[in-house]
Structure 1
Amino acid sequence: MPSLVLPGELVSSQWLAEHRNHSELILLDASWHMPLTQRNGYQEWLNERIDNARFFDFDREVCDQDSAFPHMMPTPQHFELSAQLLGINNNSVIVVYDSLGIFSSPRVWWMFKTMGFTQVAVLDGGLPAWKEAGFPLNTQPPEKVAHQGDFKAVYHADLISDTKQVVDAIDDKQTAIIDARARNRFLGEVPEARKGLRSGHMPSAINLPISEVLHNQTMKNAYQLAQIFEALMPQKQRMVFSCGSGVTACILALAAKLAGYDALSVYDGSWSEWGANQTLPVVQSK
């Protein structure tokens, strides 16, 4: 069987259906829901999934479990072992999806990119698009992974930003801080859902809600995305993406990548870290 090659950072349901039985393909369900929804991505995966999909739990398992902030990036060693236990090899080709369309799957796509793995893509439209296309689902109990993989992590620190780097970016004319939260949260017009967080945004940050890059929970095309980013930043420059807790920021990272940008980073702690630190500057609408 010839080696599998991804067509890009996004794949369609049709492409996945044609290649889902390839020996190199690893399908990951990365479904995660905001706490207030009271939905459980893991339980939903147990009940219904694309056949052979393995569950990637970046919220409770593949994360820094000692951090005070939610689903922070784990160490390369932790990530490597977690990927191996999912049967992932260095020559695997990974497709990530989630149950909302495009919501949490780009977070796992970005995690693999950060760990030096390039053969990874997001299923455009996720599970809803797969269902709408009429492709089959598996509702039987999932099988255990048969063999541990040989995946090796190579950490790319430039793809993840910490608080100090974001502080430095505030006055850096070559770097744009882009916030993925809804505009009323960005402006501080509504309180944050997480207790103890201030409302508002970082100085010099630009607001680009995720709804602006999506259409019916699928990604807008590359031309549309390029227009969006060029309108925000006429000259190409480095971008640091932030959101509530580092998940939807990765949707913007994916959108920027599709639009042709490469100098990209995600602020891992995002507003859950910035908003909780009383020493950091916050801007609110007046």
Structure 2
Amino acid sequence: MSALMLPSSRVSTEWLAEHLTHPQLVVLDASWFMPGSERNGYLEWQQKRIPHAQYFDFDKKIADPDASLPHMLPTAAHFADEVGQLGVSNDSVIVVYDSQGMFSAPRVWWMFRAMGHQHVAVLDGGFPAWRAAGYAVDTQRPEAVTPTQYKATLDHAWVIDGDTLHQHLNDPDNQIFDARPAERFYGLQPEPREGVRSGHMHYANSLPFSQLLHNGYFLPDDQLKQRFDALSEPEQQLIFSCGSGVTACILALAADLSGRKKLTVYDGSWTEWGSEYKYPVE
């Protein structure tokens, strides 16, 4: 069988259905919900999933266990150990989805890219699109997988910390995008996490992630390109932030689809920035 090639960083339900049995393919369910939600991604995956999908828990298991901030990127060794338990190898072609259409899956796409894995894409429309198209849904007990040896190497270009961002806040070679709703960006709505200030970083642009989506699907690539071209120069380093580093990855994936290459996620995002009084807030 020939090697499996992804068409881009997003795939359609038709593409996934056509290649679902390819030996290189690994499907990952990355469903996650905001704190306070009554939904549980892991429990829902146990009940129903795309056939052969494994659950990728970036909130508890595949996260830095020592971080005070939520679901921070783990070390490369921690990532490799956990990903190997899911049956992922360095030759795997990965498709990630979530049960909201397009919400938390881009976080896992970004994590793999940050760990040096190139062959990863997100399912456009997610699990709702898969079900709406009438494709098979597995409701049996999740199947066990054979662990693999996985090697990860952190690519520092994909992630930035608060102190480094603070030092380069007004660098004209950078452009910061904030994925939170505009009401939170402008401080008109309180932050959901206690002790986090309202407002935004100096020099940041508001680009709510919802503006890049329609019914759980990304806008066409040319429309995504127009959004980024209107707010930044083609050669700028784009830095993405949000509440806790999840929806910032929607912006990063959209920028990738639009053809941008210099992409960085501020992992601590506003949870860190708004809590640390050494960082200025506008």
Q: Considering the TM-score relative to the shorter chain, is it more than 0.5?
A: yes
**Is the Cα contact below 8 Å between 1:225 and 1:255 reproduced in 2?**
yes
Q: What is the one-letter code of the residue matched to 1:82?
A: E
Q: What is the one-letter code of the residue matched to 2:127?
A: L
Distance across 2 between alignment mates of 1:57 and 1:252: 21
Distance across 1 between alignment mates of 2:134 and 2:75: 39
Distance across 1 between alignment mates of 2:262 and 2:90: 24
Correspondence list, 1:25-40, <5 A: 25-40=25-40
SS of structure 2 residue aligned to 1:36: coil
In the TM superposition, residue 169 of structure 1 has moved relative to its aligned partner by 2.7
Query: Aligned pair 1:58/2:55, yes or no?
Result: no
SS of structure 1 residue aligned to 2:168: helix
Show the counterpart of 2:6: 6
Show the counterpart of 2:137: 137
Q: What is the one-letter code of the residue matched to 2:84?
A: Q
Show the counterpart of 2:220: 221
Deviations 1:170-197 (A, max 9, x none): 2101100110000000001111011110
Distance across 2 between alignment mates of 1:105 and 1:183: 22
In the TM superposition, residue 157 of structure 1 has moved relative to its aligned partner by 0.7
Distance across 1 between alignment mates of 2:176 and 2:81: 32
**Is the Cα contact below 8 Å between 1:169 and 1:176 reproduced in 2?**
no
**Is the Cα contact below 8 Å between 2:234 and 2:260 reproduced in 1?**
no
Distance across 2 between alignment mates of 1:14 and 1:66: 40
Distance across 2 between alignment mates of 1:252 and 1:183: 15
Show the counterpart of 2:105: 105
Show the counterpart of 1:119: 119
Deviations 1:99-146 (A, max 9, x none): 00110000000000000000100000000110111111011110121x
Correspondence list, 1:177-188, <5 A: 177-188=176-187
Distance across 2 between alignment mates of 1:108 and 1:270: 16
SS of structure 2 residue aligned to 1:206: strand
SS of structure 2 residue aligned to 1:94: strand
**Is the Cα contact below 8 Å between 1:180 and 1:243 reproduced in 2?**
yes
Show the counterpart of 1:190: 189
In the TM superposition, residue 160 of structure 1 has moved relative to its aligned partner by 0.3
Show the counterpart of 2:43: 43
Distance across 2 between alignment mates of 1:88 and 1:218: 26
Distance across 2 between alignment mates of 1:13 and 1:227: 25
SS of structure 2 residue aligned to 1:37: coil
Query: Aligned pair 1:150/2:149, yes or no?
Result: yes
Distance across 1 between alignment mates of 2:233 and 2:195: 36
Deviations 1:189-247 (A, max 9, x none): 11101111000001111000001111111011110001011111244311100000000
Query: Could you state the TM-score of these two structures normalised by the residue count of structure 2?
Result: 0.98
Distance across 1 between alignment mates of 2:217 and 2:269: 24
Distance across 1 between alignment mates of 2:147 and 2:43: 23
Show the counterpart of 1:271: 270
Show the counterpart of 2:251: 252
**Is the Cα contact below 8 Å between 1:107 and 1:247 reproduced in 2?**
yes
Distance across 1 between alignment mates of 2:110 and 2:234: 24
Q: What is the one-letter code of the residue matched to 1:62?
A: I
In the TM superposition, residue 44 of structure 1 has moved relative to its aligned partner by 0.5
Show the counterpart of 2:241: 242
**More deviation, 103-112/227-236:** 227-236
**More deviation, 105-114/229-238:** 229-238
Distance across 2 between alignment mates of 1:191 and 1:169: 27
Displacement over 6 Å in runs of 4+: none
Show the counterpart of 2:159: 160
C-alpha root-mean-square deviation of aligned residues, in Å?
0.8
Show the counterpart of 1:211: 210
**Is the Cα contact below 8 Å between 1:274 and 1:280 reproduced in 2?**
yes
Q: What is the one-letter code of the residue matched to 2:243?
A: G
Structure 1 unpaired stretches of 5+:
none
**Is the Cα contact below 8 Å between 1:169 and 1:177 reproduced in 2?**
no
Seq. identity, %: 52
Distance across 1 between alignment mates of 2:253 and 2:31: 17
In the TM superposition, residue 151 of structure 1 has moved relative to its aligned partner by 1.8
